[in-house]
Structure 1
Amino acid sequence: MSARLLRVEADGGSRGNPGPAGYGALVKDAATGEVLAEVAESIGRATNNVAEYRGLLAGLRAAAEIDPSARVEVRMDSKLVVEQMSGRWQVKHADMRRLAEEARAVLPADRVDYGWIPRAQNSHADRLANEAMDAAAAGRPWQRSTGGPAAAAGPAPAGPAAPAGSAPAAGEPLELVLVRHASTPLTEQRRLSGRHGEDPELSEAGREEARRVARCAEVRGADVVVSSTLRRCRQTAEVIAEHVGAPVLLDPQWDETDFGDWDGCTTAEVVRRWPAEFAAWSADPAVAPPGGEPLVAVERRVRDAASALRARWAGKRVVLVTHGDPLRALLRECLGCGAGAQRRIRVDPGSRTLLRLHGDGSSEVVAVNRV
């Protein structure tokens, strides 16, 4: 019988290079694509390359714990790590040389294959690394996202459970009330505000918008309020949750796009300072802003998060407080629209978009941009 084949996807990052750093890795069954483990950790101050090696090491160890006799294919978007671990490039940096030696000791070399993938195809591991860095910045340990597999490092946090005795009835749809967060000073100035930017609070007008959403009929009877981890969504979600008497569940998969160098700019400023980059980004969803995240990566994490919600909260009403790009991406998915429609869908601050997500994967769009 041939050995089982596992796939490790790993990534690491540093905000400052060197700066606050973290890694993320996952292990999949290569035959089915099932995610078997997720690991992530903040590692303090380090470089991008060291963080990437730490992600590789964690992924290999997780794979070895799952099946020490397995063959493993490692896929990373770090050309440096892939070429060095494949033996084609020398490892000159002392810290990376030590980590490379540790990685080679986890499994026999003839059972590990290394390959490079584009960054957009490594978004799951990238998300885990950013979750770990975000958690550290907020002074809390990393927790896996809604509905994910058990982390290899230990048991997952429980999160809010479905009400006792209320297992979802087969075939009942999830009623999803999508709420774009209420206004912030940057929203009012029409400035880009991404997942790794300023993280502004609600403005006075935004707090009134949040109270208005909390009083509207669509959120009444909600079983849970799911929110992006960013402050403007958390504050909006807390107002809604207090009014309807539901718990709040944070999920970083619903965070806004990372706009990189464009964060805090207006569209006019971006066009003036980065004309070629803006044109490429507008034309191709796989192109990222400088230092940021492509739309295809946002779409992928939104699709995964929506599937988890659909599975966990079937037959329930969920209020989801998120941002413009994730909201539009999910709406496009439900409508079957291509990426070209992303910027043509209007969702105002404090607006509600109503969806029904069915267990068979189908969906209904009930209303868009109610204010």
Structure 2
Amino acid sequence: MREFIVEADGGSRGNPGPAGYGSVVIDAATGETLVERAEYIGVATNNVAEYRGLVAGLRAARELDPSATVRVRMDSKLVVEQMSGRWKIKHPDMKPLAAEAARILPPGQVTYEWMPRERNKHADRLANEAMDAGKRGEQWDAGASRAELDARVPVTPAAPEPSGPPGDATAGAAKAREALARSRPPADPPADTAQEEATTHTDADLRAARTVATPAPGPAVAPAAASASSVGSAAVTPAVTPSVGWGAAPDLGAPATFVLLRHGETPLTPQKRFSGSGGTDPSLSDVGREQAERVAAALARRGTVQHILASPLARTRETAGAVAARLGLEVTVEDGLIETDFGAWEGLTFGEVRERHPDDLNAWLADPEAEPTGGGESFAATATRIAATRDRLAAAYAGRTVLLVTHVTPIKTFVRLALGAPPESLFRMELSAASLSAVAYYADGNASVRLFNDTSHLRP
């Protein structure tokens, strides 16, 4: 019996935005590429495009040999886990596409496996060729794409730039999460670093925070955080010299740089209590106000911030106000930067939540789609919101340095998405009050984490 490998991918420049998919069918025995499929599908989300790519690949495999076994390989953790039956399909747009994919071949003939995004370059390139064609008002043509690709000359990439290593009540969650994991029977291998969660994986979401990656063509401002794939019809991999600080490598142009400032301490911060958007809205403590003045002075010395945006909560607006007064800038309130709503856990310590709501807490530690007790916001929902905010702001502030004064979970989520790290990495980052982090988003779609949890400005 013949065996095929189907590699598929999809992308959306905006999520939702102009979208396309790519699929390739490979002979498992010889490694020969048998079929390539790609299509511009108009405005859609990234996940819809990924599922459309899967459907196209499975159909191509069936056309070649309906009796063949098929091994599907995708870098979409969401699609792989849902099609394998391990994750529920909740989104209404995903259900009919998953059902359609499941009907193409008998279930026993198809298996699914996750692979790192950098190994899915073939399908990713096809998807971006399709999106490029759609931008020109055309549909993808294999012959034209091959001719363009052959005309390009690869360039040796530079070495990646190293990056550094969120806080309140979630600081104690790592140990509890690990204990919970040890108490369970082993599941399927976790596929190294799962690189997405439902509805957050745009074409730019999951690029590792490297200073070098294959570029994304398309508009001058690509979606914010980048994917680790080769994106678009370009096969050139530019050499990028890592730069220190918040500047851009000159051959990529100035990035949209987000300097991420966590607000100063409130009375709840040293007690490590859940303090989100669903409970009281505490102001800064005396310590927090001193921290805000210190970070303001540090940013004034650096002199690179051009705009200031803040979450609508009191502690972030107060922190931003201190910086704005020092820099002579205005503060724009950005609702997308608000902290996660922790529901009934607001104001409680991690230990108190564990005593009062142990089952809900365990679910929250294990599943990014689980909500805190009382209808709070899940980490998956937070990531969706942050990804949309990031894309919108990166487009609006291309080539500018913007201070985003926000909270623990949003900052950790910005960093997680830029690194392509799995959801559980949120529990493994420490983020101090009034700390600075920075992520740069380039015009080619690449993302670079430049700074994390810097508190040097708080030292006497």
TM-score range, shorter chain: 0.5 to 0.7
Counterpart AA for 2:44: G
Moved more, 209-218 or 333-342: 209-218
Aligned counterpart, 1:116: none
Aligned counterpart, 1:188: 270
CA distance in 2, matches of 1:196, 1:275: 20
* 1:242 CA drift (Å): 1.0
Secondary structure of the structure 2 residue equivalent to 1:32: strand
CA contact (8 A) 2:252 2:444 kept: no
Counterpart AA for 1:367: L
CA contact (8 A) 1:185 1:203 kept: yes
* 1:170 CA drift (Å): 8.4
Counterpart AA for 1:195: S
Counterpart AA for 1:336: G
CA contact (8 A) 2:199 2:384 kept: no
User: How many positions carry a matched residue from both structures?
Assistant: 215
2:294 alignment partner, one of 212, 216, 240: 212
Counterpart AA for 1:344: R
The residue correspondences of 1:289-304 to structure 2 (distance < 5 A) are: 289-290=372-373, 291-304=375-388
CA contact (8 A) 1:222 1:246 kept: no
CA distance in 1, matches of 2:324, 2:377: 30
Secondary structure of the structure 2 residue equivalent to 1:325: helix
TM-score of the two chains, using structure 1 as the length reference: 0.55
Counterpart AA for 1:361: G
Aligned counterpart, 1:336: 420
Structure 1: tracts of 5 or more residues without a match: 1-29, 35-74, 77-119, 123-146, 148-168
CA distance in 2, matches of 1:360, 1:226: 24
CA distance in 2, matches of 1:307, 1:336: 16
CA contact (8 A) 2:257 2:399 kept: yes
CA distance in 1, matches of 2:396, 2:360: 40
* 1:279 CA drift (Å): 0.5
* 1:336 CA drift (Å): 1.0
Secondary structure of the structure 2 residue equivalent to 1:330: helix
Aligned counterpart, 1:237: 320
Structure 2: tracts of 5 or more residues without a match: 1-40, 46-91, 94-197, 201-222, 224-250, 456-460
CA contact (8 A) 1:221 1:244 kept: no
Secondary structure of the structure 2 residue equivalent to 1:211: helix
CA distance in 1, matches of 2:366, 2:325: 42
Secondary structure of the structure 1 residue equivalent to 2:353: helix
The residue correspondences of 1:129-168 to structure 2 (distance < 5 A) are: none
Relative to its length, the structure with more strand (as a share) is 1
CA distance in 2, matches of 1:307, 1:171: 18
* 1:314 CA drift (Å): 1.2
Aligned counterpart, 1:201: 283
CA distance in 2, matches of 1:253, 1:219: 26
The residue correspondences of 1:13-162 to structure 2 (distance < 5 A) are: 31-33=42-44
1:254 alignment partner, one of 317, 323, 337: 337
| Deviation per residue, 1:17-71 (Å, 9 max, x gap) | xxxxxxxxxxxxx95138xxxxxxxxxxxxxxxxxxxxxxxxxxxxxxxxxxxxx
Counterpart AA for 2:346: D
Q: Percent identity?
A: 36
Secondary structure of the structure 2 residue equivalent to 1:277: helix
1:223 aligns with 2:306: yes
The structure showing larger relative contact order (alpha-carbon pairs under 8 Å, at least 6 residues apart) is 2
Aligned counterpart, 1:165: none
Aligned counterpart, 1:65: none
Aligned counterpart, 2:347: 264
